[in-house]
């Protein structure tokens, strides 16, 4: 069982209730995703000696505000951080703890205005655990689920090659920029990443090598 506490339990129920009532139902960033990131993040946090109260709140709230369309995807971390600032006083968090949670949420995402390098151990762990949930078998299924909804909304047939290409480019972007911050996180990402790369290679065939050569050149990060 991952670390928890009375206020983290209350916060978890509040977040899940908020997500359930939200008009935005994101199949790849719902409560299942949050709980997987929470469990993995807390395991990493114990090993890395993080502040588990700050870490737990940061993970529970890191995806609480999801975009209504692709244009607002880049601000979801900043929006989630603002939401955290509003509600955390109600759960007994001090000003310093709230400041640390906001910092961890904002700097754990590489998208849009939140694209900053994590400095605190809590922010690094949120990043690592979140990215790890996008890799391996779970990450592949999340990508498929996300794209099924997109194809459905666009009234287009499901095309796994489009999914695999998008997924591969996402993986390459992470490999080229920051494949993890903590030693524990890097190890998990490397192990799960092998599964992700194999999936893309199996689906894309010859196109896989073309994409790899174009994006990575002689530098193979896997």
Q: How far is CA 174 from CA 65, 133, 163, 200, in A?
A: 22, 13, 17, 15
Pair 25, 104 in one domain: yes
Burial code (b: 16+ CB inside 10 Å, e: under 16) for 148-159 equals eebeeeeeeeee
Pair 114, 138 in one domain: no
Average pLDDT, rounded, for the chain: 88
Pair 58, 158 in one domain: no
Pair 81, 140 in one domain: no
Pair 6, 104 in one domain: yes
Q: What is the pLDDT of residue 71?
A: 43
Span 194-213, pLDDT tens digits? 999 999 999 999 999 999 99
**Helix, strand, or coil here: 66?**
coil
Span 2-53, pLDDT tens digits? 788 999 999 999 999 988 887 665 666 778 999 999 999 999 999 999 999 9
Span 79-125, pLDDT tens digits? 899 999 999 999 999 999 999 999 999 987 765 444 568 889 999 99
Pair 193, 222 in one domain: yes
Pair 86, 6 in one domain: yes
Residue, of 169 and 73, whose pLDDT is higher? 169
Match 């890799």 to its residue by tokens.
135
Q: Can you give the residue range of the structural domain that contains 199?
A: 134-222
Q: What is the pLDDT of residue 151?
A: 94
State yes or no: pLDDT of 58 exceeds 90.
yes
Give the CATH number, domain containing residue 14. 1.10.472.50
Pair 72, 173 in one domain: no
Q: What is the pLDDT of residue 64?
A: 87
* Boundary of a domain, candidates 84, 119, 154: 119
Q: What is the pLDDT of residue 184?
A: 94
For residue 197, tell me if it sits in a domain: yes
Task: Say what percent of the chain tops pLDDT 90.
Answer: 69
* Boundary of a domain, candidates 119, 144, 164: 119
Q: What is the pLDDT of residue 113?
A: 47
| Pairwise CA distance, residues 84 & 180, whole Å | 24
* Boundary of a domain, candidates 54, 87, 119: 119
Number of folded domains in the chain?
2
Residue 155 gets the label, from left (phi > 0), alpha (psi -120 to 50) or beta, of left
| Pairwise CA distance, residues 35 & 18, whole Å | 15
Pair 113, 8 in one domain: yes
Span 69-90, pLDDT tens digits? 444 455 778 889 999 999 999 9
The average pLDDT across 153-162 equals 95
Half-sphere exposure of 47 (CA within 13 A, CB side): 11
Pair 8, 110 in one domain: yes
For residue 146, tell me if it sits in a domain: yes
For residue 125, tell me if it sits in a domain: no
Residue 17 gets the label, from left (phi > 0), alpha (psi -120 to 50) or beta, of alpha
């Amino acid at each position: 069982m991952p670390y928890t506490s009375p206020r983290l339990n209350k916060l978890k129920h509040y977040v899940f209730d908020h997500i359930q009532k939200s008009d935005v139902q994101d199949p790849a960033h719902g409560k299942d995703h949050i709980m997987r990131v929470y469990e993995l993040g807390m395991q990493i946090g114990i090993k890395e000696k993080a502040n588990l109260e700050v870490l737990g709140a940061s993970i529970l709230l890191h995806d609480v505000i999801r975009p209504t369309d692709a244009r607002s995807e880049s601000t979801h971390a900043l929006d989630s951080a603002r939401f955290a600032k509003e509600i955390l006083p109600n759960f007994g968090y001090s000003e310093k703890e709230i400041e640390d949670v906001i910092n961890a949420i904002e700097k754990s995402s590489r998208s849009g205005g939140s694209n900053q390098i994590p400095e605190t151990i809590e922010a690094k762990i949120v990043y690592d655990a979140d990215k790890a949930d996008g890799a391996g078998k779970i990450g592949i299924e999340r990508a498929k689920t996300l794209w099924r909804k997109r194809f459905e909304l666009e009234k287009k047939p499901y095309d796994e090659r489009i999914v695999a290409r998008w997924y591969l480019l996402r993986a390459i972007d992470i490999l080229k920029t920051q494949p993890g911050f903590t030693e524990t996180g890097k190890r998990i990402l490397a192990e799960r990443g092998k599964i992700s790369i194999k999936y893309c290679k199996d689906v894309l065939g010859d196109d896989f090598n073309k994409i790899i050569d174009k994006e990575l050149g002689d530098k193979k990060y896997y």
